[in-house]
Chain A
Amino acid sequence: MNPTGSALGYDAAPPISAPLRYFLSAPAFGVLGGLMLMLAPELLASRWTPGALALTHLITVGFLVMVMIGALFQVLPVVCGAAIPMARMVSGAVHVFMVGGTLALVTGLYTMQPPTLILAAALLGVALAIFLFSAMIGLAKVSAGTGSQRDMRLALIGLGVAVMVGLALVMTRAHGLPLPLFNLLQLHLGWALLGGAGVLLAATSWIIVPMFQITPPYPKLMTRFWAMSCTITLLLWSFAVYFEQHWLSVILLALVAGLAGVFLITTLITLTKTRRSKPDASFRVFRFGIWNLTLGLVCLLATYFSDAALLRIVAGVLILYGGFVSVIQGMLYKIVPFLAWLHLTQSGIKAPNVRLLQPEQRASAQLRAHGLAIATLVVAAASGNDWMIRLAGAVVVVEFAWLGANMVGVLSHYRRARHEAPARRHSHAV
């Protein structure tokens, strides 16, 4: 038998505001990204223009990491039974540092001002350190470890490595430290995309895919060994890259890409086994995201056989926007209504059906705009036409504003339900 009650810490469930503040602010960064494209279309000329770097970090840190951290505030207690201590305060503090850090990072990258970049690295570093420390305390109290919990720890460490390498990049640029800039850049990309975001996607997929997409569990070999294999291979690859062991780094990178491919294909196969009679919007966009990640990975590998700069930009759009943004949106459409339902129920209030909290039609309509945004972004990146890029920016603004409106819609239903039916017993303030 497992321990029950407060021994597991689930009596300290976080307030709904702990994850929600992240979910509500993340789309604002997406809107900012779209505005940047509209106002400065020349930034897509190369991956390394200050504008392109700023845009990439608006989406990766401002949207992706923001939502992922918000989701962890809910996933850790609900799925792992791990309560983050002082969740309300920790969530508020991490959020302030994250928002401030992202804004400083984007400004610093756009203007290439070292002091702003150092401030950004410090703020983001503090945000991640507070979160990592609190999450580790929560996870340490959980008696029975599962693959997901271990993999979440690995992902948080991976994100930490990405931030530290990012900090080293900033210091190298700002103070001319004698570090190999290009090698650091590769390490930053590898750890951010695979060691952090990739492993976190996998760790949450082990749980969220069977739970919300009603599929059989992932194969045990995957849940036991995939994330650890990825992290160890990335670590070996990092040494090979840093010490400029070219062939070893190519072999290890092929291994890393192979592991990413195994995860993506296993996920696609697992999704075909869903017991849903009709795939809903969340299912479709999640599957679409996994396909985009697969296609983006193929484009990325193709860059080793071709010098076409276009291929790199298309790979970036497919992986970040078509892939990660899609799967994150798919998860949001499941997590946010469930969260509202759960908090109402735990407060002793008869909660509306989750389909009423987040109507399927609204999600579908917004996700069609998301599909259009990916298509216009790929065409814009391929053509390099300024007006096409401005159009893509406008679609990005619309889709993220729409996503934000849909999240606010769930919150409005939640508040109305609380207002109309006063809490029977204990209640959680928003």
Chain B
Amino acid sequence: MTRQIDARGLEPPQPFELVMEGLADLAAGESLAVLLDRMPYPLFRILDRDGYRHSERIREDGVVEIEITAP
């Protein structure tokens, strides 16, 4: 199952906090789809450290789509 978070248009660190809350609710193997205004490099660091798999792409309209899967 993939949950979704739209964290566009928010002031930092609110998008980061929303994603962290979303991650806390994820069961192993579940995924989270996140929409952001920009590439969240500091978040990637935490995801890598904690063993989450993630992939990201920048859409034509500049929106960043990230899919995160819990370990």
Contact = CB atoms under 8 A, between A and B. Distances in A.
A426 B49 contact: yes
A2 B45 contact: no
B7 to A, nearest CB: 12
A289 to B, nearest CB: 19
A76 B57 CA distance: 20
A240 interface: no
Contact of B46 (A4, A80, A341, A346): A346
Given A4-B55, A212-B11, A345-B16, A13 B42 contact: yes
Interface residues on A, range: 20 to 34
B10 to A, nearest CB: 8
A308 to B, nearest CB: 43
A165 to B, nearest CB: 35
A79 B38 contact: yes
B55 A211 contact: no
Interface of chain B, helix or strand or loop or mixed?
A: mixed
B16 to A, nearest CB: 7
Interface string A414-426: 0000000000011
Contact of A346 (B9, B10, B42, B57): B42
Q: 4 closest pairs, A vs B, by CB?
A: A10-B41, A81-B41, A1-B55, A5-B48
30 contacts: A1-B55, A1-B56, A2-B57, A2-B58, A4-B54, A4-B56, A5-B44, A10-B45, A11-B45, A11-B48, A13-B42, A77-B41, A77-B42, A78-B41, A78-B42, A79-B41, A80-B41, A211-B12, A214-B10, A214-B11, A338-B13, A341-B13, A342-B16, A342-B42, A345-B13, A345-B16, A346-B42, A346-B46, A425-B49, A426-B49
